[in-house]
Structure 1
Amino acid sequence: MPSTKEHPAAAGRTAPAPGDTARRGDRVAALAQRHGALVALVALAAVASLSFDSFATGDNLGNIAISSSFLATVALGMTFVIVSGGIDLSVGSVFVLGGVLAAWGSQYGTVVALLLPLAVCAAIGLVNGLLVARTGLAPFIVTLASMLAARGLMLAITDEGADTFLVDPDSVFASLGQGKPLGIGTPVWITAVLFVGGAVLLRSTQFGQRVYAVGGNEQAAALMGAPVARTKISVYTLSGLLAGLAGALNAAYLASGVTILGYGMELDAIAAVVIGGTLLTGGLGYVSGSLVGVLLLKVIQNVINQIGSLDSAYQQVVSGAFLVLVVVAQTWLARRRRVG
């Protein structure tokens, strides 16, 4: 008759409880959702460094950082909007409008060159927020209209794009785009400070918690006493302000208000934010993830340029395919966490 005595090695060993397994699955899903883009970025950078001698050079990395800084500033504002459950399609046009206004204002000094685009672009964001929050119009429609309006205003200022306003390369304003403190471009330093401040604002303040609450469940947030309308107005104003600032810095960097920029930037910003782990449905997102998403898109673009034999259009193909994969993965992970 077989012995019923428990083997010593098995003494005290129990099977994991179903709840423990579910919690572990939850943690894994959350980590994958938040840090998946960072893993992809590190892997791509490592492969590119081994494949192309010029990739890991100081000049190339500096160029990636500078080009990323403008999109990252726009994506920072977009992060707040998407976390709140909205979308802002106007940021590309607001970006180019900010650059044109900054270049025009630079003839009157640095203060005007900065304050003019910030005031006008923040006002556009404020109008977006008021229309979304007070009238109940869909953010897609509202910001699509403001995208066209901002582009039209830029064309009116520049005589249908025929006029290009130049920035004095020796001015203080130009140094904001072309300076290199400690060998790193000034726009990169400014973007880093903005992201630190944005992370603190979103994660560690009452305003940030309201943004999450509104994006997670607007009705529940209203029942808890959260100022839903004011929160929406604030995030759209912030988005317009940051898009205008990015445009001004870009004008300082190029020493001109280039009118052909900004097309499709809103899609790049949305892609970067979503790739970084922010849910398009709102209620969940990370400022740091958006920065990683921007860097990943820019590294992909740089690698395609390194290859040389591929047309630049492949950047959009790769970015679009990558975005689809990320959205599918996010949906699956979110469902996995709910089920768990």
Structure 2
Amino acid sequence: MTAVQTVESESSTFEEEPLGSSRAERLSALAQQHGALVTLVVAVIAASLSFDTFLTVDNLSNMAVSSAFLAVVALGMTFVIITGGIDLSVGSLFALGGVLAAWGSQYGTLVALLLPLAVCGLIGLVNGLLIARARLAPFIVTLASLLAARGILLAVTNEGATTYLVDEKSFFARLGQDKILGIGVPVWITVALFVLGAVVLRRTRFGQYVYAVGGNEDAAALMGVPVARTKTSVYALSGLCAGLAGALNAAWLVSGVTILGSGMELEAISAVVIGGTLLSGGFGFISGSLVGVLLLKVIQNVINQIGSLDSAYQQVVSGAFLAVVVIAQTWLGRRRRML
């Protein structure tokens, strides 16, 4: 059996039947993979029964569009975390991408889209090279990029004093505000990206490499997996996703808002982990990250529906929920090793 075939066999095991054939193992796997989905269904049912305005078209539409931007960031983060890494720069890249897109929109839609992709993708590529080639810690490298991207943002906007606006009649603005079949264009773009991401992760050699690197980097290298190239690629992908999300957000708001993105990296990490991806790497799936994003947004929406609670409770609830999920993942992981 070739090295690639071995890697594909192992990653396929992670996706399709990660815990063996015993009933207890399969139940543990199902709980880890689909626990967030069950929780989301329960939360939606409870919210719809408690609040008359929850299932209204306007509320669901707004929630879907606002979820789309975080979801695109979480998509790139999923690849990073599966390799066992972390990317703290995506919040600043999201804000930088929005500002660059708004500035570039005066030169046309193509510039508005390509400029944030090029800059944020380049920063992600630098992150990957430093982590994969120089063997620096992902936490330190991406934290430095977080600060650097925020500094570039402030330089472009004259310390935040300048807000670039997008022409509401431009095609770029329509990407953020138009609807197809009653659903916002950003939502359709996000769905297409997640389908593409799922295909890449599960059906391509690169996806198998991602799982192999996260499962055991040394073993993957011995089997011929291009570890450094794979790690570099996932950080570049994360930067591209953050820049694209920022550009779409600028089209939606028809402006490049400088104060956005603060804490988004933590939201993205939370969504990915809540969706079932292990922080230790080697296990995870794209659909789970989307479910994690939706669950966070439903929780936030419910808190807003209550009205009497301060918005800070969103962070408290999200943090508590993340802690519960991590504890549950740890327990399930230990249970799998014991079975």
Q: Give the TM-score normalised by structure 1.
A: 0.94
CA-to-aligned-CA distance 1:28-62 (integer Å, 9 cap, x gap):
00000000000000001000000000001111111
Q: Secondary structure at 1:135's aligned position in 2?
A: coil
1:132 aligned partner: 131
- How far, CA to CA, are the matches of 2:44 and 2:87 in structure 1? 30
Identity of aligned pairs, percent?
77
Q: Superposed, which structure 2 residues align to 1:80-229 within 5 Å?
A: 80-229=79-228
Q: Using structure 2 for the length normalisation, give the TM-score.
A: 0.94
Match in the other structure for 2:329:
330
Q: CA deviation at 1:217?
A: 0.3
Instruction: State the AA in 2 paired with 1:107.
Output: Q
2:3 is aligned to none
Instruction: List gaps (5 residues or longer) in structure 2.
Output: 1-19
What is the aligned length?
A: 321
- Counterpart-to-counterpart distance in 2, 1:280 and 1:204: 22
Q: Residue by residue, what CA displacement relative to the aligned partner does 1:95-145 show, whole Å, maximum 9, x if unpaired?
A: 000000000000000000000000000000000000000011000000000
Shift of 1:22: 7.8
2:72 & 2:163 partners in 1: Cα distance? 24
Larger Rg: 1
Q: Which amino acid aligns with 1:164?
A: T
Partners of 1:38 and 1:132 in 2: CA distance = 33
Report the CA distance between 1:338 and its aligned residue.
1.3
SS at match of 1:283: coil
Q: Deviations over 1:149-185 (max 9, x none)?
A: 0000000000010000000000000000001011100
Q: How far has the Cα of 1:23 moved from its partner?
A: 1.1
RMSD: 1.1
Unaligned runs of 5+ in 1: 1-20
Using the alignment, how far apart are the partners of 2:318 and 2:22 within structure 1? 33
3-state SS, counterpart of residue 61 of structure 2: helix
Q: What is the identity, as a one-letter code, of the residue corresponding to 1:26?
A: E
Task: Report the alpha carbon displacement of residue 287 of structure 1 after superposing the two structures with TM.
Answer: 0.3
Structure 1 Cα separation of the partners of residues 329 and 199 of structure 2? 24
Where do 1:1-340 residues align within 5 Å? 23-340=22-339
Cα distance in 1 between the residues matched to 2:21 and 2:169: 61
Equivalents in 2 of 1:43, 1:56: separation in Å?
14
4+ aligned runs moved over 6 Å, structure 1:
none
The verdict on how the C-alpha distance between 1:230 and 1:22 changes in structure 2, with shifts beyond 3 A counting, is closer
Tell me the amino acid that sits aligned with residue 33 of structure 2: R
What code does the residue aligned with 2:226 have?
P
Distance 1:115 1:255 in 2: 17
**Aligned partner of 2:308: which letter?**
S
C-alpha deviation, 1:324, in angstroms: 0.2
